[in-house]
Copies of this chain bind each other. A is one copy, B any other.
């Protein structure tokens, strides 16, 4: 046979297919079952459109799917999803490190580039970055053979007061919020100390690299930290 089955499948996948698979992976990684409506909302399409595409992905042998049930990636689908996610996060890091795009600019750019990147370019970027493991938001970059580091860290909202933590990951996606967090120095590897909690899920008083800052509780839940080394 000239091509592997995997290569045959992959060559037929459009950007839409890839975004759906990646979305199913990301939603699944968040713990909850992947429903049609969650998928549709995540991708900004109608539920009818999501049903339509999920049926196609099932026929292509990329997801396990039965009407009205949870949508599950199978091994083939997960492999594709992780490859696209690798592209995305490598691109985000490259754009940030080598081309000085800000961490709130890189997502939208990577969202398009991820679908048109050749293997040669993927390898060139990997080499230029020295085989990196995490993107600018602290998200782990899947390896070329489809492995991905487990989620580390706990929400800053649950940190012990007065302990020094290292910021490991920012789950915030919104560009404006990222800009704001960056203005406080809340990037991966920043040193963060929780000085004081407010009652009623109120704002946290924190120190970021020794600077005092106030941080909204909802944002603090989306910032993951680990005890400082």
**Which A residues fall within an 8 A CB radius of B?**
95, 98-101, 105, 108-109, 112-113, 115-116, 118, 120-121, 124-125, 128
Contact = CB atoms under 8 A, between A and B. Distances in A.
A95 B121 contact: yes
A125 B95 CA distance: 10
Contact of A113 (B105, B108, B113, B128): B113
B101 A124 contact: yes
Where chain A touches its partner, the secondary structure class is helix
Contacts of A116: 112-113, 115-116
Given A100-B124, A101-B124, 16 more contacts: A95-B121, A95-B124, A98-B98, A98-B128, A99-B121, A99-B124, A99-B125, A99-B128, A101-B120, A105-B120, A108-B118, A109-B120, A109-B121, A112-B116, A113-B113, A113-B116
22 contacts: A95-B121, A95-B124, A98-B98, A98-B128, A99-B121, A99-B124, A99-B125, A99-B128, A100-B124, A101-B120, A101-B121, A101-B124, A105-B120, A108-B118, A109-B118, A109-B120, A109-B121, A112-B116, A113-B113, A113-B116, A115-B116, A116-B116
